[in-house]
């Protein structure tokens, strides 16, 4: 069964304090790994898709990386507006559904 | 196009009533997905539909839940005889094809009292 585990569950950082969120996964053949951001009361907002080990993608203060077993979302010099829950999901080859992790609730204090 | 539109945003139903949740996909998207997010839990896949067809309903509870995506009009997720455990946020997503990522709507928050 495809599975995604995110850690930590919650993370508090000071503004400007860089860190990384982890997403460990097991999947029967990876089609893609997805990162989303979710604000309270809203739907997930797409950030990145990674397709193969070694791939990296960047957007503003966020950088996502992928290995054969895990993905990291690195956040550099975060700002309070980066506070949100970050969701990781995998899609297996031949499947349409995404399997989500529980998310990491990130809080950036000014 | 304002993106994936879901309505209502909030829905309150008494136990035993029916709940109908609507989802209009983004323009040009013919693939619709429904997910449920229970309190303090992650998003769980429910069903994947294309126009007039259910492609994968492996995540749908066997009873009381049904989904459709007619040729004309929005996709509908229908929950009959709601129970307290159905209280959750229900998200719809759409895509333009199997190789493309999803866009999610803002969700419908169902409360069963």
Supply angle C-alpha B91, B93, B94, rounded to 5.
160
Residue B1 pLDDT greater than 60, yes or no: no
Residue A3 forms beta bridges with which residues? A26
SS3 content of chain B, % helix, strand, coil (to 5): 5, 50, 50
pLDDT bin (cut points 50, 70, 90) of residue B96 is confident
What per-residue confidence (pLDDT) applies to B102? 86
pLDDT, mean of residues B44-51: 95
- Give the integer Cα–Cα distance in Å for A77 and B62: 47
Tell me the nearest-neighbour CA distance from A42 into chain B, angstroms. 5
Q: Are B56 and B69 in contact (CB under 8 A)?
A: no
pLDDT bin (cut points 50, 70, 90) of residue B98 is low
Contact partners, residue B81, CB within 8 Å, separation at least 6: B16, B17, B18, B64
Q: Does the beta carbon of B56 lie under 8 angstroms from any beta carbon of chain A? A: yes
What per-residue confidence (pLDDT) applies to A91? 93
Tell me the nearest-neighbour CA distance from B17 into chain A, angstroms. 24
- Give the integer Cα–Cα distance in Å for A18 and B28: 39
Yes or no, beta carbons of A87 and B44 under 8 Å apart: no
Q: Does the beta carbon of B113 lie under 8 angstroms from any beta carbon of chain A? A: no
Tally C-beta pairs within 8 A across A and B.
52
Residue A62 pLDDT greater than 90, yes or no: yes
Residue B99 pLDDT greater than 70, yes or no: no
| B51-86 pLDDT tens trace | 889 999 999 999 999 999 999 899 999 999 999 999
Q: Does the beta carbon of A48 lie under 8 angstroms from any beta carbon of chain B? A: no
pLDDT, mean of residues A43-57: 95
Yes or no, beta carbons of B102 and A103 under 8 Å apart: no
Task: Count how many Cα atoms sit within 13 Å of the Cα of residue B84 in the half-sphere of its side chain.
Answer: 1
pLDDT, mean of residues A72-101: 95
For residue B45, the chain A residues in CB contact (below 8 A) are 97-99
| A1-15 pLDDT tens trace | 899 999 999 999 999
Residue in B48, B87, B86, B49 with CA at minimum distance from that of residue B65: B86
Supply angle C-alpha B78, B64, B4, rounded to 5.
25
Percent of chain A at pLDDT exceeding 70 = 100
- Give the integer Cα–Cα distance in Å for A61 and A81: 11
- Give the integer Cα–Cα distance in Å for B7 and B23: 7
Q: Are A64 and A34 in contact (CB under 8 A)?
A: no
């Amino acid at each position: 069964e495809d599975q995604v585990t995110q850690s930590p569950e919650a993370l508090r950082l000071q503004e400007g304090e860089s860190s990384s969120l982890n997403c460990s996964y097991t999947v029967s053949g990876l089609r893609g790994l997805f990162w989303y951001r979710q604000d309270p009361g809203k739907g997930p907002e797409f950030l990145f898709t990674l397709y193969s080990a070694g791939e990296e993608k960047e957007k503003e203060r966020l950088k996502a990386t992928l290995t054969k077993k895990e993905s990291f979302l690195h956040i550099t010099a975060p700002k309070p507006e980066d506070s949100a829950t970050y969701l990781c999901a995998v899609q297996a080859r031949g499947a349409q559904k995404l399997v989500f992790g529980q998310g990491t609730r990130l809080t950036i204090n000014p | 196009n304002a993106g994936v539109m879901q309505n209502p945003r909030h829905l309150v139903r008494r136990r035993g009533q029916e709940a109908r949740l609507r989802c209009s996909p983004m323009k040009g998207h013919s693939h619709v997905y429904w997910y449920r997010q229970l309190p303090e839990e992650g998003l769980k896949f429910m069903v994947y539909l294309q126009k007039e067809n259910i492609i994968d309903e492996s995540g749908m509870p066997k009873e009381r839940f049904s989904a459709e995506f007619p040729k004309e009009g929005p996709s509908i997720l229908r929950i009959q005889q709601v129970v307290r455990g159905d209280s959750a946020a229900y998200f719809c997503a759409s895509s333009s094809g199997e190789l493309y990522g999803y866009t999610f709507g803002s969700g419908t928050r169902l409360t069963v009292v």
